Amino acid sequence: MSEQSLPMVADDRPEGTSRPKDPPNRRAFLLGASSLLGLTAASLLLTPRIGSTQEVPVDPTKVPGALASEYGTRSRFEQSQRLTKPQRSRTPLQDLYGIITPSALHFERHHNGVPLIDPSRHRLLVHGLVEHPMIFTMDELKRFPATSRIAFVECSGNSGKEWKGPKGTTVQEIHGLTSTSEWTGVRLSTVLQAAHLNPQATWMLAEGSDAAAMTRSVPLDRVMDEALLCYAQNGEPIRPEQGYPLRLLLPGWEGNTCIKWLRRLKLVDSPMMTREETSKYTDLMPDGTARQFTFDMEAKSVITNPSGGQQLTEKGFTEIRGLAWSGRGVITKVEVSLDGGKTWNAAELQTPILPKCHTRFRFAWEWNGQEAILQSRCMDETGYLQPTLKQLINVRGTNSYYHNNAIQSWKIDKDGHVHNVQA
């Protein structure tokens, strides 16, 4: 078939013209040409085995491929992974595309491991200030009217170590406790309506069935509109680390309130002062008092490419890419600075821009081979502008750990190395 014979190719593009529309470099082009033109001679050669028993053919058109499979897996050549500690793992933000986080790479945070739950035995108890205390099976919850939304979940401890200077190396290590999924479930309001909520109920305790029996209390009036009891994530049943078979989702609120492995909702008339809202998940202020019930995750953004630990290999076009999100609603603006915050440039926002959801931003940059300090900052629909760390410390002092949404700075060295600084 003549269409398969490869033509002569030539790279007569003048040096330095019309980047970034031109391909990044001449060297790579020539390599590509020699590789493709060598196909005929090399087509019977096989490269070494890589992580599997099947040989990698030099010319895949000459070897019938794998047959269809019941449940697919990623390519053996892809090895991106979460950065794990026993009770948490961090999403590799630098490896993500778009806004959906693959469920397999969604960050984890648990306080006594991921429980193993048989969904046919799982129950949700709704009691306290309701007329009709009730217990639901998973099948019963799934029969209720369902709804879906794409939303981020962020641990309020994300970026926490950076309060006292640049500690982490990579964007994953520093900011990897945030991820986005499409969540599906039943509205909390639907379930509470079934149980006939008592008007005296103003707070709700949610309890997980993990070995930490995680509990948090939340004010009903603030969660009623949007809270979901989720049983699905990214099109399939929710993953074990995310609360299988059932989790509470409070869009835009600190992840810890979104109780996983949810087994109980108690309607009450005051906060229950659990461990996770007294000794933990509070913010010690400069005057010695502590902020409590700081539920909302404020607007935050971070450049994921280029980011800490990466290396720019050559001058010229690089698309600066990152994520922005706000627990208060939609992101209305993201700006990028190339000079450590002296001047700012509008970034492009990828549509759809959804409330309480990661938003992908992009900014076309020509790296001139000189030092640079890259930053991003975002604004949400309330008009709130992401602060610098200095601005945050002015208000909150240096005893805080949770709720650090300060601007991240990445320094580009002359040799192209990217590292974490505070500018």
Site for a copy of itself in 326-365 (CB under 8 A): 350, 352, 354, 360, 362, 364
Q: In the complex, what is the shortest distance from the CB of residue 233 to a copy of itself, in angstroms, rounded to a whole number?
A: 8
Give the separation between CA 6 and CA 347, rounded to whole angstroms: 40
Toward a copy of itself, which CB reaches closer, 290 or 312?
312
Q: Note the maximum CA span of the chain.
A: 80
Nearest to 176 by CA among 269, 300, 342, 44: 300
Q: What is the CA radius of gyration of the chain?
A: 25
Residue 261 binding a copy of itself, by CB under 8 A: yes
Q: How far apart are CA 144 and CA 248, in angstroms?
A: 16
Question: 103 to 122, contacts with a copy of itself by CB under 8 A?
Answer: 103-106, 108, 110, 112-121
Residue 284 as a binder of a copy of itself (CB under 8 A): the answer is: no
Q: Are 281 and 254 contacting, i.e. CB atoms less than 8 angstroms apart?
A: yes
Pairing assessment for the beta strands 359-367 and 348-349 based on DSSP bridges:
antiparallel
Name the residue nearer to a copy of itself (CB basis): 272 or 284.
272
Indicate whether 49 belongs to the interface with a copy of itself (CB under 8 A). no
CB of 161 to a copy of itself, least distance (A): 18
CB 190 within 8 A of CB 108: no
Shortest approach of a copy of itself to residue 406 CB, angstroms? 25
CA distance 204 to 9: 68
Which H or E run includes 394?
Answer: helix 389-396
Contact yes or no for 6/37 (Cβ under 8 A): yes
In the shown chain, the binding pattern of residues 78 to 97 toward a copy of itself, with x for contact by CB under 8 A and - for none, equals x-xxx-xxxxxx-----xxx
Q: Cβ(23)–Cβ(32) under 8 Å?
A: no
Q: Which residue lies nearer to a copy of itself by CB, 106 or 396? A: 106
Nearest distance in Å: CB 55, a copy of itself: 8
Residues 6+ apart with CB under 8 A from 308: 168, 169, 170, 171, 173, 174, 410, 418, 419, 420
44 in contact with a copy of itself (CB under 8 A):
no
Binding residue (CB under 8 A) for a copy of itself from 176, 245, 306, 308: 245
Site for a copy of itself in 295-324 (CB under 8 A): 317-319, 321
- CB of 113 vs a copy of itself, minimal distance in Å: 3
Residues 184-243 that bind a copy of itself (CB under 8 A): 184, 190, 193-194, 205, 207, 209-211, 213, 215, 231-232, 234-237, 239-241
Residue 62 is a binding residue for a copy of itself (CB under 8 A) = yes
Spatial distance between the Cα atoms of 402 and 404, rounded to a whole number of angstroms: 6
Residue 378 CB, nearest approach to a copy of itself (Å): 18
Would you count residue 51 as binding a copy of itself (CB under 8 A)? no
